[in-house]
Chain A
């Protein structure tokens, strides 16, 4: 910046102004407002009233909230390990000598660029108990398929499976970037020493890939705490409330029941959970490496 005096401010305002104004109004402002709202009671019709810690107190006794938290953790515990394993497997396979590697990479990435709504709808139809393709193919193998999204016990596993299908390519891309940074000589040296492919994977690939794996793990954790689109479209939280999740609860409290303060309080609990988990994992990584 070479301007002086008033012109200098004008240039600064021109460059930084739009972003600063927008971020304050649509990002930072709402974050602060949401924190304030968490301590109020507000139904949008009457002015908000100060509620102290009452929202959080009610939250601690809200069975639907605890159920949603439990389902979110179930989703996370199923989805995160599975998507990391499938993503790692595909990344390792597609880092090796495979014909038409580029085409295969693109195929595995296809679901990542597809919208969640489209993916959720296709899988809802694939998993249709009567007329869906999955149960038809299972029947040909002599297996009677479950009712999937209509069965309280199978609904969450179905949502997890669909999410793993969609995000495998995402983890693959992150891990491929990490794999390509490992020098070939390491694998050659291990092979000369007689290491099998499995031993190479365990003792060369995984340790050297640790930072990329941790990055993928952290991102997957953060994303799975916020699981929403697929649940909303595939089950709507059902059957019998078996798949309600935190963001879906927040949206429902705010926009169906007009409990703005209560929804904000819940969203801050979600934030703290994400923050604490991410922090714990980054600590773990530091100790591990």
Chain B
């Protein structure tokens, strides 16, 4: 009697464990390096577990770079972008789902069409617009242009279309206007869509690199990814890897926490959008 399933399962499990090991090693190496004194970096062969762990690299990175300010910048930008996207996208998504107005469908297809255009196409004019507003090296430049996405509007519209119209009709019979109905009846039941779009927007903003790279050169306005990329180059000749890894740990821990707490919404946001933030 053969047992192909059992052997297959065993092999599959072993392969999965090996794969998970490959996934985790870089994170462990990141943490391990961030706890090593500089002298331990050049020891051969490299030790996976530091001989003597020290938080010195964390102190040094704070001294070499305004990391607290940078962390604060990332948090402010990500939270403001997320809040802005939720408000803008839910209002417009509701308009596309429920209102009847001239040119609605054409306008909606126009929104969808912008989704196909790569970001690289818009960067030149977008930079010029933002520079004209005086928004380089400023929070406004990091936040405002990223608040308006056709994807957000699309996602909210699809959600509102699944809601029965009777919900609003009852409120209207009581004499409530459209805005009051939206705020009192619709918003309270939009939690799942808010969570999906919100987590997605937060992740995209927290990890965004290209846009901050183009409009920020002042360290006081850098976000974490830009600060890390800058940090690797500030010691000419030799990158201080323990400092850089300390900064990297600081930048990835919040996102990993958000992921572990809200796994379901993160995965849903990524699967529905096909975007990775």
Q: Which residues of A contact B (CB under 8 A)?
A: 1-3, 11-12, 14-16, 18-20, 22-23, 25-31, 33-34, 37, 44, 89-90, 93-94, 96-99, 104, 106-119, 121-126, 128, 130-133, 136, 139-140, 165, 167-170, 173-174, 177, 191, 196-197, 215, 219, 222-223, 225-226, 228-229, 232-233, 246-247, 250-251, 254-255, 260, 263-264, 267-268, 270-271, 274-275, 278
CB of A215 within 8 A of CB of B4, answer no
Q: Which residue of A lies closest to B15 (CB)?
A: A93
Q: How far is the CB of B39 from chain A (nearest CB, A)?
A: 12
Task: From the candidates A34, A123, A169, A233, name the one contacting B26 in the complex (CB within 8 A).
Answer: A123
| Secondary structure of the B contact surface, majority rule | helix
Query: How far is A123 from B30 in the complex, measured between Cα atoms in Å?
Result: 9
Q: Which residue of A lies closest to B115 (CB)?
A: A27
CB of B46 within 8 A of CB of A18, answer no
| Residues on the B chain within 8 Å of A25, using CB | 129, 148
Given A25-B129, A125-B33, A131-B46, A226 contacting B120 (CB threshold 8 A): yes
Query: How far is A14 from B25 in the complex, measured between Cα atoms in Å?
Result: 51
Query: How far is A21 from B45 in the complex, measured between Cα atoms in Å?
Result: 58
| Residues on the B chain within 8 Å of A263, using CB | 124
Given A30-B125, A270-B118, A115 contacting B251 (CB threshold 8 A): yes
| Secondary structure of the A contact surface, majority rule | helix
Q: How far is the CB of A193 from chain B (nearest CB, A)?
A: 13
Chain B 52-103 interface residues, beta-carbon cutoff 8 Å to A: 87-89, 91-92, 94-96, 98-101
Determine whether B237 belongs to the interface, using a CB cutoff of 8 Å to chain A: no
CB of B124 within 8 A of CB of A19, answer no
CB of A29 within 8 A of CB of B125, answer yes
Query: How far is A196 from B2 in the complex, measured between Cα atoms in Å?
Result: 11
CB of A118 within 8 A of CB of B99, answer no
CB of A22 within 8 A of CB of B178, answer no
| Residues on the B chain within 8 Å of A3, using CB | 177-178
| Residues on the B chain within 8 Å of A139, using CB | 45
Given A106-B260, A267-B123, A131 contacting B229 (CB threshold 8 A): no
Determine whether B266 belongs to the interface, using a CB cutoff of 8 Å to chain A: yes
Q: How far is the CB of B4 from chain A (nearest CB, A)?
A: 6
Interface size on B, residues (CB 8 A): 100
CB of B276 within 8 A of CB of A223, answer yes
Can you list 9 A-B contacts with CB-CB less than 8 angstroms, sorted by A residue number? Answer: A1-B100, A11-B178, A19-B91, A23-B153, A107-B23, A113-B259, A121-B244, A247-B210, A274-B116
Q: How far is the CB of A39 from chain B (nearest CB, A)?
A: 13
CB of B125 within 8 A of CB of A109, answer no
Q: How far is the CB of B166 from chain A (nearest CB, A)?
A: 14
Determine whether B1 belongs to the interface, using a CB cutoff of 8 Å to chain A: no
CB of A173 within 8 A of CB of B267, answer yes
Q: How far is the CB of B209 from chain A (nearest CB, A)?
A: 5
Query: How far is A19 from B151 in the complex, measured between Cα atoms in Å?
Result: 11
Given A11-B177, A271-B121, A16 contacting B12 (CB threshold 8 A): no
CB of B172 within 8 A of CB of A2, answer yes
CB of B225 within 8 A of CB of A31, answer no
Q: Which residue of B lies closest to A197 (CB)?
A: B8
CB of A115 within 8 A of CB of B26, answer no
Determine whether B134 belongs to the interface, using a CB cutoff of 8 Å to chain A: no
Query: How far is A20 from B88 in the complex, measured between Cα atoms in Å?
Result: 9
7 tightest Cβ-Cβ pairs between the two chains A and B: A22-B148, A19-B92, A115-B207, A33-B125, A117-B225, A30-B125, A30-B122
New A-B contacts (11) at CB < 8 Å, excluding given A122-B26, A196-B4? A18-B87, A26-B145, A30-B129, A44-B128, A118-B225, A131-B44, A133-B29, A247-B210, A251-B120, A263-B124, A274-B116
| Residues on the B chain within 8 Å of A270, using CB | 118, 120-121
Q: Which of A22, A96, A115 has the most CB of B within 10 A?
A: A115
CB of A104 within 8 A of CB of B244, answer no
CB of A96 within 8 A of CB of B12, answer yes
Task: From the candidates B214, B225, B263, name the one contacting A116 in the complex (CB within 8 A).
Answer: B225
CB of B274 within 8 A of CB of A174, answer yes
| Residues on the A chain within 8 Å of B193, using CB | none
Q: Which residue of A lies closest to B32 (CB)?
A: A133
| Residues on the B chain within 8 Å of A140, using CB | 45
| Residues on the A chain within 8 Å of B12, using CB | 93, 96, 98
| Residues on the B chain within 8 Å of A14, using CB | 91, 179
| Residues on the B chain within 8 Å of A1, using CB | 98-100, 178
| Residues on the B chain within 8 Å of A122, using CB | 26-27, 29-30, 245, 248
| Residues on the B chain within 8 Å of A119, using CB | 26
